[in-house]
Structure 1
Amino acid sequence: MEPIWAALTELWWIPPVVVSGGATGYLVKRRRSSMNGRRLGYDAARLELRQAQRDARAAADMARIARAEAARVAADRTASRADAEAVASARRALREAQRAARAAAAQVKASRVRLSIERSALSSGGTPPLERTRARHDAVLARWMEYETDPARVIAYPQMSDGRRPATAAFLDALQRARDARPSAEHRMTAEEFSAYRRAVDDLERAFEIAERAARGQAVQPELPDALWDAARTVVLRTSDSMVAWTQRWRRER
């Protein structure tokens, strides 16, 4: 037994080191997990900016091609090799390509704004990005449920529950997409998944606004460029902590 006790005496330091190492590893992993959670918005915004830049380059190329094609058709018209309808069609295609290029350029600017906001949020702390997005999602659900559960609103705005209405149908589709993209509590999201979920919530907010305005008989503009919606949503991002607090208060009152 003496050799065994001698070995145990010499190795007394191993269990404390293992325990200490495990605790340290757990703390590092927990901090890294927390940091990764806070980086979700920033990493997703970087991905979205890169995609917006690629889309803008492609749209600009298409606009240049359309301009060259319009010039060619105009020259053919001068030489009597094309008719007036061909010229008009080429000009329409050019206008559409130019409009798409402007929208894509605006999307790049909006993506840069979002990246700047997420960078500031990353350095200043505050509510994590996923929690902010869930709060926005919950806020739309809360507003919609008011039309479903308030008898006065049900009577005044029946269109909000009528899936045959185009605007309401579009909202219900967006509602399903956002529900499908929403992660469970235990799921660890990637930047790509978070970007998809945030975009689904963006679309849900837009669809609800259109459906609500249509139900109230107000003019709607469903073709509003994405960049303008993104610019408007920067206000939501800047006041995200207030939205989280509002959603939590609404849940308690219900």
Structure 2
Amino acid sequence: MDPFFAFAAEFWWLGPAVIAGGAASFAGIRYARHQRARTLEYAAARHELTVARTRLLSARAQAKNAQATMLAAKSARQSGHGSSGELDEARRAIDEAQRELRSAQTALRGRRLSVKAARATLRGMPHDDEHLPLPRLIAEHDAVLASWVAYETDPEKAIAFPTMSDARVPATAALLTSIDKARWLRPPPGRPTLTPEEFARYRAAVTELGATFHAAEAAAWRAAGASGRPPGGTPGPGLPPHLRGAWEDLLENARAAAVSAAAAATESARDALWHAAKRSPRTDAHRPEAPPAEPQNPSGATKPDAASGEGGSSSAADKTPGSI
């Protein structure tokens, strides 16, 4: 028998074993990758918890060092070698250390709650790829960018809210900075997943982007209402919560402007009527049709002309009928 056929007949099971092993390895690698992508948010929350614990330990050490410096300054002051300025500086250092310690303790409690929330989300998460943490975070990033691009590409919004494109406005400048930061931390399309540290940084950047966008949008709405450029249409009950205050301010400014315009128009109309009545002559109803007739003297004597000089010095008693 041919040696090749003899080997194939003896070790025929090697081919199926290799194929099955390769398929199992591929399935295992894919499952492990899916599990890492599924637990990415939970791993990032645990990483942030570790960072918060490290910060708390550093804050405690800083507080103890500040207290030691304070005691050394008091001792030097009591011995007459220290100054009051060193003691004041040590007190300020203790105050700063205490504030940092309280902040670190609060941050640690928040990170613990984040870990619990991520664990609860992981338990109820569907197994499809759309609900994985990274695709969900990328979709949130895209939604914020789409809302911002609407103010750039929509002519009506661009005219009504010009501050959304003006980098000189502080809120818009902060928004543009957040957009650039989130863009650099966003994973490229060919990269399937991120490390927990990278995901935590990217998630923080997207959260900051959403906050700065809401602040810039609310500031743009207030500026539009203050400048007399209200947006077209009525937002209705679907207005986002961060814009309700700005919309109320805009309506209040519009009402105040309408009341001022109405008062100014009323005052202008009253002035115009008053000036017209002052310049116009009297109406025919108050004007006589002909001048009154000169009264006739029955004695035939002429009435002296008061405007002329003749007879101006004679009195009315000198011109009686008997004297003529």
TM-score class, shorter: 0.7 to 0.9
Structure 2 stretches lacking a partner, 5+ long: 224-324
Which residue of structure 1 aligns with residue 157 of structure 2? 153
Once the two structures are superposed, what CA deviation does each residue of 1:83-123 show, in whole Å capped at 9, x if it has no partner?
5x766655554443333222221111111111111112223
**Could you say if the C-alpha distance between residues 151 and 124 of structure 1 is closer, same or farther in structure 2, counting changes exceeding 3 Å?**
same
Measure how far apart 1:132 and its partner are: 2.1
Measure how far apart 1:178 and its partner are: 0.8
User: Which amino acid counterpart does residue 25 of structure 2 have in structure 1?
Assistant: G
User: Given the alignment of the two structures, is residue 190 of structure 1 paired with residue 195 of structure 2, yes or no?
Assistant: yes
Distance (Å, rounded) in 1 between the aligned partners of 2:219 and 2:93: 31
Report matched runs for 1:18-33 at 5 Å: 18-33=18-33
Distance (Å, rounded) in 2 between the aligned partners of 1:110 and 1:207: 21
Distance (Å, rounded) in 1 between the aligned partners of 2:63 and 2:171: 31
User: Which amino acid counterpart does residue 31 of structure 1 have in structure 2?
Assistant: Y
Distance (Å, rounded) in 2 between the aligned partners of 1:155 and 1:66: 55
Which residue of structure 2 aligns with residue 235 of structure 1? none
User: Given the alignment of the two structures, is residue 164 of structure 1 paired with residue 165 of structure 2, yes or no?
Assistant: no
Which residue of structure 2 aligns with residue 251 of structure 1? none
Which residue of structure 2 aligns with residue 10 of structure 1? 10
Which residue of structure 1 aligns with residue 213 of structure 2? 208
Which residue of structure 2 aligns with residue 144 of structure 1? 148
Which residue of structure 2 aligns with residue 36 of structure 1? 36
User: Given the alignment of the two structures, is residue 106 of structure 1 paired with residue 106 of structure 2, yes or no?
Assistant: yes
Task: Tell me the secondary structure at the aligned position of residue 39 of structure 2.
Answer: helix
Distance (Å, rounded) in 2 between the aligned partners of 1:124 and 1:198: 20
**Could you say if the C-alpha distance between residues 190 and 72 of structure 1 is closer, same or farther in structure 2, counting changes exceeding 3 Å?**
same
Task: Tell me the secondary structure at the aligned position of residue 62 of structure 2.
Answer: helix
User: Given the alignment of the two structures, is residue 55 of structure 1 paired with residue 55 of structure 2, yes or no?
Assistant: yes
Distance (Å, rounded) in 2 between the aligned partners of 1:52 and 1:129: 22
**Could you say if the C-alpha distance between residues 71 and 156 of structure 1 is closer, same or farther in structure 2, counting changes exceeding 3 Å?**
farther
User: Which amino acid counterpart does residue 169 of structure 2 have in structure 1?
Assistant: R
User: TM-score normalized by structure 2?
Assistant: 0.59
Which residue of structure 1 aligns with residue 135 of structure 2? 131
Distance (Å, rounded) in 1 between the aligned partners of 2:76 and 2:164: 53
**Pairs aligned (count):** 217
Distance (Å, rounded) in 2 between the aligned partners of 1:217 and 1:92: 40
User: Which amino acid counterpart does residue 190 of structure 1 have in structure 2?
Assistant: T
Structure 1 stretches lacking a partner, 5+ long: 219-254
Q: Sequence identity of aligned pairs in percent?
A: 40
Measure how far apart 1:77 and its partner are: 7.5
Task: Tell me the secondary structure at the aligned position of residue 186 of structure 1.
Answer: coil
Task: Tell me the secondary structure at the aligned position of residue 109 of structure 1.
Answer: helix
User: Which amino acid counterpart does residue 32 of structure 2 have in structure 1?
Assistant: R
Distance (Å, rounded) in 1 between the aligned partners of 2:70 and 2:48: 32
Distance (Å, rounded) in 2 between the aligned partners of 1:71 and 1:205: 46
Measure how far apart 1:75 and its partner are: 7.7
Measure how far apart 1:55 and its partner are: 0.9
Which residue of structure 1 aligns with residue 121 of structure 2? 121
Q: Which has the larger radius of gyration?
A: 2
**Could you say if the C-alpha distance between residues 160 and 74 of structure 1 is closer, same or farther in structure 2, counting changes exceeding 3 Å?**
farther
Measure how far apart 1:165 and its partner are: 2.1
